[in-house]
């Protein structure tokens, strides 16, 4: 019964979404306030209904109701509660439901927080948001119904895919979807601005928090996915330029570019047309990602289904929204008035360069991902575009972005002084160059990319810090003055500094992979082996049975100069329900580096095939990503971006002034 | 996007049907120089049954077989180029992670430089385009501005409403 209610709520949500699309559009066109007002109620209603629907599916999974096909195929009565819960989105149907649920959350947020917006802008944006909802709700109801019943109900479920039985599944997809789908708001507002034919700084100020939220989540989602891969794959790789990874990277790149250009628009009223274009681009790439994954067109393992009906349906949605929005763009964009003149050497100029490089990177990833597919369709030739290609194109371009970052961050708006900025960055430049030269000397003839990356990383980190110093510290000023100045800087500045530093930290971690060590050997219990600066020894090998799997565990001690620094338990897990085995790496985090050990099935003589890796500074990759997301969150809490905040800020300042008198 | 990387392993297991390990101890050549060559070579070759994974990283049995084959040929004294050519003749360009530069892939290789060049050209054109001066306020807008200014003066500063969004 609950399941049927969930299904019915989804059908109702579709109806409400239709109303949300049509009524406000007509209202905005006719200037009818009552009709425009429908948008907010409909958005909130749609959210409530989809929440009911999602709750029903969650209930079915938690209660292990195997009469629901989706539960029977993706769950098991013995899996821990967390995997019952994450099993909701560990399959095609459920993950699409999560997708529209998040879409509805964002729609409702606009309805609640957008009261101060011009009525027509809000109505049009919510209408576009409603249209996206209609398309995906139809998709779910017609091709991917998660509420389908199974009769007779099986006694036991087929278990969740063992690879997915990991805390990663609980966190990674929701984060990624919050990012992907968050850009739908940006898209809806861009479309609304185009429909109205006008756009201004207020638009930017309202859209920017949504873009920041989406970007933060996407950053965390991508980083989380890469860390999950890192610890489950068994050899410590964390990025493969897999089409599906690329699908999440492209919206991230476009979104990063958008964040920078919308900042220019908010502050300087420039780059309007370009900002709108990036808004369309970011969400189009999110849709493209959904298509690539859900259609199975790339035979990626991420595709749970290769049902052609689904592929064609999503392709139709993709074509509708991308072609539709681009047509709207071509038709209406010339109406948008340009403002805000600036010299080429200025912060705006640097951000334009940043946008150019980021979008080119995005294009390189796009072509690299889809070219093999297109070529096979046209000529039948099968080629592979792998890591070497992406490193040579996207990788090099991203290094360029890193080089420009500190300059852009330090240049003044409108007209900048490049020489002055170079002086201000001289310490950072020197530090970066020194690191580069030192590392070149160390590797001597080895790969040159790692030293370049490390040098740039140091440049970006020190560059961000010296910009902070320049804003806070003046010659001869006391510490308390510096502290007061630091407190006076807007949070969005701190956010930017932190995010840029985070990018530098992540790059440092990436560059450090070039300085790792690995040892591949068959290990005997009690016989130590060196890996990098450490020594590893297997103390014992044992078997144990856990919930829904059995595992062979090697207990291993990591020593440094004879001192035990860590004990890890790399293991092999066997899942009887699906007859599958997984590798559970043993990871010891030592400072910012990690010793990473994967074991194979023990041989008959008790020896264990083992791969040991020493990965210096590897955790910086993900710590850096977290810093970037934290920087985004800082910017988000900036006064300027809070609605109605200018009023409160002003009155608070006045009160303080009065009190001081 | 759901399961990201992790599910790769799943596909490997499905595709390969057997569980092996990327570069097993038994495969490693005694001579470190030859082994290093084998590693370099295998990191450029695609595991044919995986998604964009090199045979150096892959758990699949096929990847294992090719790794062994490479090491046999290296031990016999064949050059990297010869081994690569042999593998391409057997499996096609599909096995190369870095696509060769040929007419078929011209557009692919030029995509990034072309985008960069076109973008730069676009920016240059946009910067050169003469801008129309900001138009003067219309009578209607003047009236609204005057009204706003009046409201702002008549309200006490602490209760003043910021004209936002308009």
Q: Which of A424-433, A481-490, B70-79 has the lowest mean pLDDT?
A: A481-490
Residues A75 and A94 in one domain: yes
Summarised one tens digit per residue, pLDDT across range A232-282 is 877 778 888 888 889 899 999 999 999 999 988 888 877 888 899 999 999
* pLDDT for position A299: 54
User: Which site among A298, A386, A647, A659 would you substitute to test the B interface, given the most B Cβ atoms closer than 10 Å to its Cβ?
Assistant: A386
The domain tally of chain A equals 3
Residue contact A394–B112, C-beta within 8 A = yes
How many angstroms away from the CA of A147 is the closest CA of chain B?
20
Q: Specify if B12 maps to a domain.
A: no
User: Does the CB of A94 have a partner CB in chain B at under 8 Å?
Assistant: no
Main-chain dihedrals φ then ψ at residue A158, nearest 5 degrees? -85, 5
Q: Specify if B153 maps to a domain.
A: no
Nearest residue to A536 via CA among A552, A555, A551: A555
Q: Which of residues 301-340 of A touch B (CB under 8 A)?
A: 301-302, 304, 338-339
Residues A235 and A332 in one domain: yes
Residues of A in contact with B10 (CB under 8 A): 161-163, 301, 580
The alpha carbons of chain B give a radius of gyration, in whole angstroms, of 32
Q: Per-residue pLDDT averaged across A276-292, rounded?
A: 89
Classified as helix, coil or strand, A255 is helix
Burial of B164 (0-12, 13-18, 19+ CB in 10 A): middle
Residue contact A367–B1, C-beta within 8 A = no
More confident residue, A362 or B25: A362
Classified as helix, coil or strand, A532 is coil
Residues A130 and A175 in one domain: no
How many angstroms away from the CA of A521 is the closest CA of chain B?
5
Residues A138 and A254 in one domain: no
- C-alpha A358/C-alpha A408 separation (Å) is 14
Residues of B in contact with A293 (CB under 8 A): 1-2
How many angstroms away from the CA of A16 is the closest CA of chain B?
28
Residue contact B7–A301, C-beta within 8 A = yes
- C-alpha A385/C-alpha B96 separation (Å) is 8
Residue B59, pLDDT above cutoff 80: no
Classified as helix, coil or strand, A474 is coil
Q: Specify if A393 maps to a domain.
A: no
Q: Which of residues 455-494 of A touch B (CB under 8 A)?
A: none
The domain tally of chain B equals 1
* A296 pLDDT tier (thresholds 50, 70, 90): low
Biggest CA pair distance of chain A: 86
- Residue located via tokens 């898209």: A187
Q: What is the DSSP letter of B25?
A: G
Main-chain dihedrals φ then ψ at residue A571, nearest 5 degrees? -145, 160
Q: Specify if B14 maps to a domain.
A: no
Q: List Cβ neighbours of B103 (8 Å cut-off, separation of 6 or more).
A: none
Summarised one tens digit per residue, pLDDT across range A372-391 is 888 888 888 888 888 889 98
- Residue A63 in tokens: 């209660």
Q: Determine if residue A582 is left, alpha or beta; phi over 0 gives left, psi from -120 to 50 gives alpha, anything else beta.
A: beta
Bridge partners for A524 per DSSP: none
* pLDDT for position B3: 42
Chain A residue closest to B28 (CA)? Answer: A520
- Residue located via tokens 């409909």: A42
Q: Specify if B131 maps to a domain.
A: no
Chain A residue closest to B13 (CA)? Answer: A580
Residues A238 and A292 in one domain: yes
Q: List Cβ neighbours of A295 (8 Å cut-off, separation of 6 or more).
A: A303, A306, A310, A311, A312, A314, A315
* pLDDT for position B113: 92
Orientation of helix B32-42 relative to helix B61-75, angle to 10°: 140
Residue contact A363–B111, C-beta within 8 A = yes
- C-alpha A60/C-alpha A157 separation (Å) is 12
Contact A456, A507 (CB under 8 A): yes
Residue contact A164–B7, C-beta within 8 A = yes
Residues A146 and A42 in one domain: yes
* B134 pLDDT tier (thresholds 50, 70, 90): low
Which of the listed residues A98, A130, A161 is the one where a domain comes to its end? A161
Residues A150 and A180 in one domain: no
* pLDDT for position A375: 86
Contact A141, A15 (CB under 8 A): no
- C-alpha A533/C-alpha A517 separation (Å) is 9
Residues of B in contact with A397 (CB under 8 A): 112, 116
Residue contact A609–B164, C-beta within 8 A = no
Question: Which among B21, B57, B96 has the least Cβ separation from residue A600?
Answer: B21
Residues A148 and A260 in one domain: no
Q: Specify if B52 maps to a domain.
A: yes
Summarised one tens digit per residue, pLDDT across range A579-608 is 777 888 899 999 899 999 988 888 888 888
Chain A residue closest to B119 (CA)? Answer: A356
Chain A residue closest to B19 (CA)? Answer: A581
Chain A residue closest to B126 (CA)? Answer: A271
- C-alpha A432/C-alpha A451 separation (Å) is 10
Summarised one tens digit per residue, pLDDT across range A63-113 is 988 999 988 888 888 888 888 888 898 888 899 999 999 999 999 999 998
* pLDDT for position A167: 83
Which of the listed residues A161, A188, A220 is the one where a domain comes to its end? A161
Q: Which of residues 107-146 of A touch B (CB under 8 A)?
A: 116-118
Q: List Cβ neighbours of A613 (8 Å cut-off, separation of 6 or more).
A: A235, A236, A516, A517, A518, A519, A531, A595, A596, A597
Residues A231 and A327 in one domain: yes
- C-alpha A33/C-alpha A387 separation (Å) is 54
Q: List Cβ neighbours of A475 (8 Å cut-off, separation of 6 or more).
A: none
User: Does the CB of A607 have a partner CB in chain B at under 8 Å?
Assistant: no
Q: Which of A338-352, A505-519, A630-644, A647-661 has the lowest mean pLDDT?
A: A647-661
User: Does the CB of A164 have a partner CB in chain B at under 8 Å?
Assistant: yes
Whole-Å CA distances, B164 to A114, A118, B34, B160: 12, 9, 70, 12
More confident residue, B34 or A655: B34
More confident residue, A366 or B32: A366
* pLDDT for position B161: 42
Q: Specify if B37 maps to a domain.
A: yes
Residues A57 and A195 in one domain: no
Biggest CA pair distance of chain B: 94
Altogether, the residues listed in chain B come to a count of 166
Q: H or E segment at A463?
A: helix A449-472
Whole-Å CA distances, A638 to A488, A646, B35: 12, 11, 55
Residue contact B164–A202, C-beta within 8 A = yes
DSSP assignments along A111-137, one per residue: HHHGGGS-HHHHHHHHHHHHHHHHHHH
Residues of A in contact with B104 (CB under 8 A): 375, 379, 381, 383
Summarised one tens digit per residue, pLDDT across range A35-60 is 888 999 999 999 999 999 999 999 99
User: Does the CB of A206 have a partner CB in chain B at under 8 Å?
Assistant: yes
Residues A104 and A205 in one domain: no
- C-alpha B98/C-alpha A291 separation (Å) is 25
Other C-beta atoms within 10 Å of B18: how many? 10
Residues of A in contact with B19 (CB under 8 A): 581, 601
Residue contact A240–B53, C-beta within 8 A = yes
Residue contact A248–B162, C-beta within 8 A = no
Main-chain dihedrals φ then ψ at residue B96, nearest 5 degrees? -85, 125
Chain A residue closest to B10 (CA)? Answer: A163
Q: Specify if A269 maps to a domain.
A: yes
User: Which site among B7, B36, B113, B158 would you substitute to test the A interface, given the most A Cβ atoms closer than 10 Å to its Cβ?
Assistant: B7
- Work out the percent of chain B whose per-residue pLDDT is above 90: 11
Q: Specify if A608 maps to a domain.
A: yes
Residue B73's domain comprises 25-95
- C-alpha B25/C-alpha A21 separation (Å) is 61
Q: List Cβ neighbours of A367 (8 Å cut-off, separation of 6 or more).
A: B107, B108, B111, B112
- Residue A490 in tokens: 């807007």
Q: Per-residue pLDDT averaged across B4-8, rounded?
A: 43
- Residue located via tokens 């990297």: B80
Main-chain dihedrals φ then ψ at residue A560, nearest 5 degrees? -130, 120
- Residue located via tokens 């970066």: A432
Question: Which among A164, A234, A386 has the least Cβ separation from residue B98?
Answer: A386
Q: Specify if A477 maps to a domain.
A: no
Residue contact A233–B8, C-beta within 8 A = yes
Q: Per-residue pLDDT averaged across B4-22, rounded?
A: 42
* pLDDT for position A136: 94
Residue A569's domain comprises 517-615
Summarised one tens digit per residue, pLDDT across range A203-219 is 888 899 999 999 999 99
Return the ∠ at Cα A79 (arms to A77 and A83), rounded to 5°: 120
Residues of B in contact with A650 (CB under 8 A): 157-158, 160, 162
Other C-beta atoms within 10 Å of B65: how many? 12
**How many H helices and E strands in chain B?**
6, 0
Burial code of A370-398, b = ≥16 C-beta within 10 A, e = fewer? bbbeebeeeeeeebbbbbbbbeebbbebb
- C-alpha A495/C-alpha A636 separation (Å) is 8
CATH number of the domain where residue B48 is located: 1.10.8.640
Q: Specify if B90 maps to a domain.
A: yes
Q: Per-residue pLDDT averaged across A340-361, rounded?
A: 86
Residues A23 and A91 in one domain: yes
* pLDDT for position A302: 47
How many angstroms away from the CA of A98 is the closest CA of chain B?
11
More confident residue, B8 or A575: A575
- Work out the percent of chain A whose per-residue pLDDT is above 70: 93
Chain A residue closest to B96 (CA)? Answer: A384
* pLDDT for position A48: 97
Whole-Å CA distances, A623 to A212, A517, A636: 19, 21, 20
Contact A457, A502 (CB under 8 A): no
């Amino acid at each position: 019964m609950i399941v049927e209610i969930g299904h019915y709520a989804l059908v109702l949500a579709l109806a409400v979404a239709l109303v949300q699309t049509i009524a406000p559009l007509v209202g905005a066109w006719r200037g009818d306030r009552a009709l425009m007002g429908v948008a907010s109620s409909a958005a909130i209603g749609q959210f409530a209904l989809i929440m009911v629907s999602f709750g029903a599916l969650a209930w079915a999974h938690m209660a292990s109701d195997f009469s629901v096909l989706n539960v029977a195929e993706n769950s098991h009565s013995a899996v821990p509660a967390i995997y019952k819960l994450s099993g909701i989105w560990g399959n095609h149907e459920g993950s699409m439901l999560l997708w529209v649920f998040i879409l509805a959350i964002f729609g409702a947020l606009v309805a609640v927080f957008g009261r101060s917006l011009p009525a027509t802008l809000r109505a049009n944006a919510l209408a576009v948001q409603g249209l996206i909802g209609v398309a995906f709700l139809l998709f779910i109801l017609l091709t991917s119904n998660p509420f389908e019943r199974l009769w007779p109900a099986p006694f036991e479920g087929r278990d969740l895919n063992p690879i997915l039985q990991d805390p990663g599944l609980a966190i990674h997809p929701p984060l990624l979807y919050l990012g992907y789908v968050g850009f739908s708001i940006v898209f809806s507002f861009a479309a609304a601005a185009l429909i109205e034919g006008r756009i201004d700084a207020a638009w930017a100020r309202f859209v920017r928090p949504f873009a920041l939220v989406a970007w933060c989540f996407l950053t965390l989602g991508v980083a989380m996915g890469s860390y999950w891969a890192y610890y489950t794959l068994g050899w410590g790789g964390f990025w493969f330029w897999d089409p599906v990874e690329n699908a999440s990277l492209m919206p991230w790149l476009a979104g990063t570019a958008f964040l920078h250009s919308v900042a220019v628009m908010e502050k300087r009223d420039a780059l309007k047309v370009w900002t709108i274009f990036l808004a369309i681009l970011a969400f189009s790439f999110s849709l493209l990602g959904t298509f690539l994954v859900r259609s199975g067109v790339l035979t990626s393992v991420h595709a749970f289904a290769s049902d052609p009906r689904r592929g064609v349906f999503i392709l139709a949605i993709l074509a509708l929204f991308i072609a539709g929005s681009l047509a709207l763009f071509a038709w209406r964009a010339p109406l948008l008035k340009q403002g805000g003149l600036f010299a080429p050497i200025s912060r705006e100029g640097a951000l334009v360069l940043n946008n150019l490089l980021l979008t080119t990177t995005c294009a390189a990833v796009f072509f690299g991902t889809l070219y093999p597919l297109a070529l096979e369709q046209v000529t039948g030739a099968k080629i592979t575009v792998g890591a070497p290609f992406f490193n040579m194109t996207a990788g090099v371009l991203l290094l360029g972005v890193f080089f420009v970052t500190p300059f852009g961050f330090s240049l003044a708006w409108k007209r900048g002084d490049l020489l002055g900025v170079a002086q201000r960055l001289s310490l950072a430049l020197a530090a970066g160059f020194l690191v580069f030269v030192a590392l070149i000397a160390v590797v001597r003839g080895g790969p040159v990319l790692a030293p370049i990356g490390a040098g740039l990383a140091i440049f970006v980190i020190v560059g961000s810090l010296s910009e902070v110093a320049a804003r806070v510290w003046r010659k001869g000023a006391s510490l308390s003055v510096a502290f007061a100045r630091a407190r006076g800087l807007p949070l969005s500045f701190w956010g930017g500094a932190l995010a840029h530093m985070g990018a530098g930290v992540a790059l440092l971690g990436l560059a450090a992979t070039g300085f790792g060590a690995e040892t591949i050997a068959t290990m005997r219990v009690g016989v130590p082996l060196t890996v990098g600066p450490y020594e590893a020894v297997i103390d014992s090998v044992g078997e144990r049975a856990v919930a829904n799997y059995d595992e062979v565990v090697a207990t291993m001690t990591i020593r440094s100069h004879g001192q035990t620094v860590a004990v890890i338990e790399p293991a092999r897990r066997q899942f009887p329900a699906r007859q599958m085995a997984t590798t559970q790496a043993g990871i010891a985090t030592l400072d910012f580096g990690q010793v990473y050990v994967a074991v194979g099935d023990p041989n008959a003589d008790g020896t264990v095939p083992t791969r040991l890796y020493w990965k210096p500074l590897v955790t910086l990759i993900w710590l850096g990503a977290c810093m970037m997301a934290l920087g985004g969150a800082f910017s988000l809490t900036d006064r300027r971006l809070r609605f109605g905040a200018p009023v409160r800020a002003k009155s608070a300042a006045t009160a303080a002034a009065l009190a001081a008198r | 996007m759901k399961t990201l990387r992790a599910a790769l392993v799943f596909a490997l297991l499905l595709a390969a049907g057997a569980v092996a390990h990327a570069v097993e101890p038994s495969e490693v050549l005694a001579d470190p120089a030859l082994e290093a060559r084998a590693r370099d070579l295998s990191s450029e070759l695609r595991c044919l049954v995986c998604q964009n994974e090199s045979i150096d990283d892959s758990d699949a049995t096929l990847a294992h077989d090719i790794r062994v084959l490479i090491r046999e040929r290296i031990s016999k004294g064949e050059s990297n180029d010869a081994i690569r050519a042999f593998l391409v003749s057997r499996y096609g360009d599909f096995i190369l992670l870095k696509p060769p530069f040929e007419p078929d892939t011209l557009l692919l290789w030029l995509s990034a430089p072309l985008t960069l060049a076109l973008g730069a050209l676009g920016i240059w054109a946009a910067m050169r385009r003469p801008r129309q001066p900001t138009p003067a306020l219309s009578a209607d807008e003047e009236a609204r501005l005057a009204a706003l200014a009046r409201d702002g003066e008549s309200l006490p500063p602490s209760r003043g409403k910021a004209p936002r969004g308009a």
